C-alpha cells in the first residue's frame, strides 16, 4: 500500500504522520510519502490533498503536472481525500472568491464549495460531528469552507449549522475540516479501506 500526500503546501507532515498511524492500526504494511513533483501519484494507491491555501495549491499542482495525475488516479478508481483547501481543489464548482482568484479546480467532486464559509469571527473552532460511516468525531475547523450544493451522486457524510462539511462521491472524500490535527485516525482508515471497495 502506497499513500501519497500532495505536498505542495499546507498540513503535509501531519497527514503523513496520521496516515502512517492509520496503516499501523489497520495492520497493513505500506509507506506514506509527500511529493511536490509529478510521477509519484501514478505509483500510489491512495492520494491525499491537504489543507492550506486553495489558490496556491491549485496553481502549483497544475504547473507541476500533478493535477492531471490526480484526475487519472480518480478515473482508475483510487481513493482520494481533500481536506479544507483540498476539498475546494477537488470540487467541480466554486464561489465568487474561487472565480475572482481564477482558481482552476480539478472538478472531481460534483459539488459547489464556498470558501471561508464560517466567517472571520469563527476562523478556528472544534466541534463534535456525527460522521456517516465513522460515528461521533471531534472536528477541527480552520477558516473552513463548506459545500453549498451537491449532485445526486454525492453522499453527505456530515453537516454542521446546516452546512455540509463532509461528502463522498465514489472513492473521493471531501472534508471541510482537518482530520490530521486530531490524533483520531478513523477518517484516514476509512479512506484507506475504500481501496478494497
* Catalytic residue annotation: 84, 178, 180
Q: Are strands 80-83 and 46-49 parallel, antiparallel or unpaired?
A: parallel
Dmax of the chain from CA atoms?
A: 45
Q: How far is CA 120 from the centre of its chain?
A: 22
SS3 helix, strand, coil % of the chain, rounded to 5? 35, 35, 35
According to DSSP, residue 120 is labeled: G
According to DSSP, residue 180 is labeled: G
Q: At 147, which helix (H) or strand (E)? A: strand 146-150
Amino acid at each position: 500500500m502506497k499513500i501519497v500526500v500532495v505536498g505542495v503546501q499546507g498540513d503535509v507532515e501531519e497527514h503523513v504522520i496520521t496516515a502512517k498511524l492509520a496503516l499501523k492500526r489497520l495492520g497493513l504494511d505500506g509507506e506514506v510519502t509527500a511529493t511536490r513533483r509529478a510521477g509519484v501519484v501514478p505509483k500510489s494507491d491512495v492520494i491525499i490533498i491537504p489543507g492550506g491555501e486553495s489558490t496556491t495549491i491549485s496553481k502549483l499542482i497544475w504547473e507541476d503536472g500533478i493535477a492531471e495525475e490526480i484526475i487519472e488516479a480518480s478515473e482508475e478508481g483510487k481513493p482520494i481525500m481533500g481536506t479544507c483547501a483540498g476539498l475546494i481543489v477537488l470540487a467541480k464548482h466554486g464561489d465568487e472568491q474561487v472565480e475572482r482568484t481564477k482558481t482552476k479546480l480539478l472538478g472531481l467532486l460534483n459539488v459547489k464549495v464556498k470558501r471561508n464559509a464560517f466567517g472571520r469571527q469563527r476562523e478556528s473552532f472544534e466541534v463534535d460531528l456525527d460522521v456517516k460511516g465513522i460515528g461521533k468525531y471531534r472536528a477541527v475547523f480552520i477558516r473552513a469552507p463548506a459545500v453549498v450544493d451537491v449532485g445526486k451522486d454525492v453522499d453527505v457524510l456530515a453537516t454542521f449549522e446546516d452546512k455540509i462539511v463532509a461528502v463522498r462521491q465514489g472513492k473521493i472524500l471531501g472534508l471541510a475540516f482537518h482530520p490530521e490535527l486530531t490524533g483520531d485516525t478513523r477518517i484516514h482508515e476509512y479512506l484507506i479501506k475504500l481501496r478494497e471497495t
